[in-house]
Amino acid sequence: MRPRGRQWWKLLGLAGVVGVAATGVVAVRADRQRKAYTPDEVRARLHERYTRAYAVHDGQKEIDLTPPTWRDRVTGALRRLRRRGTGTDQPRARRIPSAS
């Protein structure tokens, strides 16, 4: 038996209700898992994720979590400037307009 006329609207409404209920279940489950962590655990996980992302960005596999010294900060800043190519010894790239 095929649905006709208003029966399609009823099926569409039922599918919408099921979708809203499923979304609510997923949201409640995620909220329960999020609330299961203590603030210290959340902080530790965020620090761990940050160091992993920074290590991937920097090309290293791991990063030491000790705070950097003044000398480390200065040498890191100079290294980043050299990597960008903003030093005075390197010419800046200029865009050449096309002939067409």
In 3D, which of 18, 38, 20, 17 has the Cα closest to residue 28? 20
- Which pLDDT value is given to residue 64? 64
Stretches in the chain below the pLDDT threshold 50: none
Per-residue confidence (pLDDT) for residue 99, from 0 to 100: 55
Model confidence, pTM? 0.33
pLDDT at 35 (0 to 100): 78
What's residue 8's pLDDT? 82
pLDDT in tens, 45-72: 898 888 888 777 666 666 566 777 888 8
CA-CA distances (angstroms) from residue 81 to 51, 66, 73?
21, 23, 12
